[in-house]
Amino acid sequence: MSPSVTRRDFIRTAALAAGAVSAGALGAWSLVGCGSGPYARPRRNMCGFAVPPLERIRIGFVGLGMRGPGAVERLAKIRDVDVVALCDIRPTGVAESQEILRAHGRPPARGFTAGPEDWRNLCQLDLDLVYICTPWEWHVPMAVGAMRAGKHAAVEVPAALDLDGCWELVETSERTGRHCMMLENCCYDFFELMTLNMVRQGVFGELTHAEGAYIHSLVDYMQPKDGQEIYQGNWRLKHNLERNGNLYPTHGLGPVAQCLDVNRGNRFTWLTSMSSQEAAFTEHARQSGNLQFADLPTYRGDMNTTLIQCARGETVMVQHDTSTPRAYSRIHLLQGSLGMARKWPKTGVCLHEKGHRWLDDEEFRELEAQYRHPLVATIGDIARKVGGHGGMDFIMDYRLAYCLKNGLPLDQDVYDAAAWSAVVPLSCASVARRSGSVAVPDFTRGRWETNAPLGIVDVDPARLPVLATAAAAGQLEVE
Ligand SMILES: NC(=O)c1ccc[n+]([C@@H]2O[C@H](COP(=O)([O-])OP(=O)(O)OC[C@H]3O[C@@H](n4cnc5c(N)ncnc54)[C@H](O)[C@@H]3O)[C@@H](O)[C@H]2O)c1
């Protein structure tokens, strides 16, 4: 047995023991933190699960506010995708997306605007996929409703806000045999994909630590101006008043979780979390004259820092701050025994063989050429032209459609959705208990030990062409 295996086994045993102790000390939370979910036995394993190839992918969209129409536009550029239904409680959201379809030479989709439950009627159509871009509290009911109606679900981040919701997604996906993919687009960003490739090729050695974050001031979106709400019904403000923890962990966590093989040879075992005091949201409210927002006693702390222990022994730090006037960052740091990479505040790589310094620009360019991820090599140029956070949104949507078209497993399954989203309720529970450690449920129910790690996947654009009509519509210049 190699020394590293011995050390790993030791850490894992210690981790499991410590998790049990801390969970016991948490009273009721030990039940939700450690429980194996309502069903004693898992059903199908949705990790690596695939459905037969689809000739065409028929999609219904629910939620057409700031985020949804971009997805309609991206998917309307893909040849074998049909946008057959559009749903929003605001008829203007549906009308705007119909206009996107018209500009792409697509037929109008069926509209659903008859109130907050009309999405259920959309789910009854002859559809393959329901694509959900609604406020957070709708994610679980809509994804579960879609799967129960026999449709695959693609749901925006975070997929769930509480552990019951995480389990409901897992159990519904297993029971119905429908995919439930959380739309974690940051897993498809160019540097993140390159570092995943580098990890798989052993460039950083054995990983020990990772960091991710969502540091992005949203105060101007969260505080309505002149009575005009920006998020529909101020949904995001309400969640920030009700929860003190990491409310949006998955952008930072998803890409590093894939590098760490979480749910596929590794798993999150427990976490501890701490929130700072609140100051920036109030300060902004005072300075901008929005005094009704200057005295919200339960607004969550500005900076939340959560530390997660993995079964193999790695640690992960994930932060959340959407109030402070800081430069945008998801950190994306990977530390290993032979080197490290970091994306923010400036991309950099250190390698043991090159000494204790960041690689210079030329060395970095060489690495980029050597470790460019195949998805970037094949679809990256088109993705940059289509856009959506610089192209990562298109890579995600294209790859989702590609997998359905070609009968492949999805890159993100329901266990990823659950484990990454569970950090929302678990971080809040830990903050409320003076950072007491909280066990992270094993949503795979033991299968993480044998599930294969996510491979270095690729696409062949000839097997799912991007439409030339998109170029004709002035949206995209593609050969
Ligand atoms: N992955 C990313 O990069 C990214 C970026 C932005 C937003 N998001 C996510 O996208 C989701 C939507 O965010 P947004 O910024 O578009 O918010 P938004 O408030 O602009 O849009 C939400 C839309 O959902 C509609 N809606 C609400 N309840 C509905 C119901 N019952 N039935 C049908 N439609 C309903 C609203 O009318 C609104 O048009 C959120 O989950 C958010 O976290 C993800």
333 Cβ below 6 A of ligand 1: no
Amino acid at 288: S
Strands 438-439 and 315-321: unpaired
Amino acid at 218: L
Q: What CATH code would you report for 57-183? A: 3.40.50.720
Q: DSSP E strands: which ranges in 74-148? A: 81-87, 110-112, 129-132
Where does CATH 3.30.360.10 sit in the chain? 186-449
CB 39 within 8 A of CB 427: no
> What residue has token string 């970037």?
376
133 Cβ below 6 A of ligand 1: yes
Between CA 59 and CA 179 the distance in angstroms is 14
111 Cβ below 6 A of ligand 1: no
Structure tokens at 330: 């998801």
Residues 6+ apart with CB under 8 A from 167: 37, 38, 418, 441, 443
CA dihedral 429, 435, 439, 443 (to 10 degrees): 50
Cα-to-centroid distance, 203 and ligand 1 (Å): 39
64 Cβ below 6 A of ligand 1: yes
Query: For each of the chain's 479 residues, which pLDDT tens digit applies?
Result: 333 333 333 333 333 333 333 333 233 333 334 444 555 467 899 999 999 999 999 999 999 999 999 999 999 999 999 999 999 999 999 999 999 999 999 999 999 999 999 999 999 999 999 999 999 999 999 999 999 999 999 999 999 999 999 999 999 999 999 999 999 999 999 999 999 999 999 999 999 999 999 999 999 999 887 878 999 999 999 999 999 999 999 999 999 999 999 999 999 999 999 999 999 999 999 998 888 888 888 899 999 999 999 999 999 999 999 999 999 999 999 999 999 999 999 999 999 999 999 999 999 999 999 999 999 999 999 999 999 999 999 999 999 999 999 999 999 999 999 999 999 999 999 999 999 999 999 999 999 999 999 999 999 999 999 986 444 344 443 32
Alpha carbon nearest to ligand 1 atom 10, residue: 133
Top-level CATH class of 186-449? alpha beta
Where does CATH 3.40.50.720 sit in the chain? 57-183
Half-sphere exposure of 191 (CA within 13 A, CB side): 16
392 Cβ below 6 A of ligand 1: no
Radius of gyration of the chain (CA): 22
62 Cβ below 6 A of ligand 1: yes
